[in-house]
Homo-oligomer: A and B are copies of this chain.
Amino acid sequence: MALIVQKYGGTSVGSLDRIRNVAARIQRTVEAGNQVVAVVSAMGGVTDRLIAMARELAPEPPEREMDVLLATGEQQSIALLSMALRTLGVEAVSVTGRQAGIQTTGSHTRGRIDRIDPVWMNRELGEGRTLIVAGFQGITGEGLIHTLGRGGSDLTAIAVASAVGADVCQILTDVDGVYTCDPRVVPNARKLPEISYDEMLEMASSGSKVMQSRSVEFAKKYGVVFEVRSSLNENPGTMVLEEHPAMENVVIRGVSIERSQARVTITGIPDEPGMSGRILGVLAEAEINIDMIVSNIAHDGMARHSFTMHMNDLGRAQVALKPVLTDVGPEAAIETEAGIAKLSCVGIGMRSHSGVAARMFQALGDAGINIGMISTSEIKIAVTVDETRIEDAARAVHDVFGLDKAPA
């Protein structure tokens, strides 16, 4: 008998019929001799409707009350799914975030899981019950309701799996697993049987929207092995786990792309300490997320900083940076470029294989694609290209590393 944690997202429980399907799936897992803890999100659309109501009453609804309001979405799902399971003869009970012992810290609407006290869950599991746990929510030390922000239910599932010592943690979603590249872009992309936490993190931060980084980070920190798989079929998915030596045989695990990027370059920066900090500081203050950062010294001895951001932030970035320019120096100027995209190659094999960047750049050159910025980490090489060429670029790089073929 295995103890399995399953996470079902809002789409999976988006209607009463889908709740019945999820119940049937849990029933099969239980009847196969396993014990199940299901972590569920609010029914698809419910959270958005609640947010719309709040916004109608208050232009900036107080976050303490947003948490009280939004937490009801998951509370409804767990009650309804438990009812559906009881109708099928499965002895299921709902467990709210508080009952699950999920203690949070941080701020309202963006709570972080601090620890889980699984006394209640362990007692119910000891009685042989199936547990239906509310994702996305927890309780502060003072007893206030917290929600965990985007991807919060994934985080709940991984934290619960760790707390109850689950044998398996399944993140059930509307994709079949993690692919070598987005199959809509690269038709011969291949589902990966496994991927390391670090690779998953780099994929997540470079455009693969399967999971939020912090859930993967939590899993890595507590050594929770999890599987990303489809809630619509029984196909095996992708295992996400700590890297093992055999993984390094593969040079590149996957390729991810991110569209709608923009570049801002500030030129004419005196080569003095503190300049980068001042520039990035104003962007942080304006809550603009910066992605790639490239900096160098031009032939005139002045520094130039380039960074990428989402295209939608470009206007705000220009407004925020304008007053800084005069501080920076008399020759400072801003150049901007929209309509670019980012292509990232990710793989822990890079550490032990040389020439990866050369092969990647060669492939792009052969395809006639210009490279803009380049940035690298230990297990990632990212470049910007013209957005109109991003799909060609992805196919060229996917091909050159032979990602469509399973490694020997």
Contacts and interface: CB of A to CB of B under 8 A. Distances in A.
Interface of A: 16, 19-20, 50, 53-54, 56-59, 61-62, 64-66, 68-69, 71-72, 75-76, 78-80, 82-84, 86-87, 93-94, 96, 98-99, 120, 143, 145
B80 A57 contact: yes
Contact of A99 (B19, B62, B96, B143): B143
A134 to B, nearest CB: 9
B79 A65 contact: yes
Contact of A68 (B50, B75, B145): B75
Contact of A58 (B50, B61, B66, B83): B83
27 contacts: A16-B56, A19-B57, A20-B57, A50-B76, A53-B80, A54-B80, A57-B80, A58-B83, A58-B84, A62-B83, A64-B93, A64-B94, A65-B79, A65-B86, A68-B75, A68-B82, A68-B94, A69-B75, A69-B76, A69-B79, A71-B75, A72-B75, A72-B79, A75-B75, A96-B145, A98-B98, A99-B143
A351 to B, nearest CB: 49
Nearest to A84: B57
Contacts of A82: 62, 65, 68
A71 B134 CA distance: 14
Given A16-B53, A57-B16, A79 B68 contact: yes
A154 B99 CA distance: 27
A143 B99 CA distance: 7
Given A68-B75, A68-B94, A72-B75, A83 B61 contact: yes
A249 B265 CA distance: 90
A120 B75 CA distance: 23
Nearest to A83: B58
Contacts of A96: 68, 145
Nearest to A20: B57
Contacts of A98: 98, 143
Contacts of A143: 98-99, 120
A63 to B, nearest CB: 10
A308 to B, nearest CB: 37
Contacts of A83: 54, 57-58, 61-62, 65, 69
Nearest to A134: B68
Contacts of A145: 96
Nearest to A61: B83
A50 B79 CA distance: 10
A54 B78 CA distance: 12
A43 to B, nearest CB: 9
Nearest to A70: B79
Contacts of A99: 143
Nearest to A144: B99
Quick one: which of A50, A57, A64 has the most chain B CB within 10 A?
A: A57
A66 B86 contact: no
A120 B142 CA distance: 10
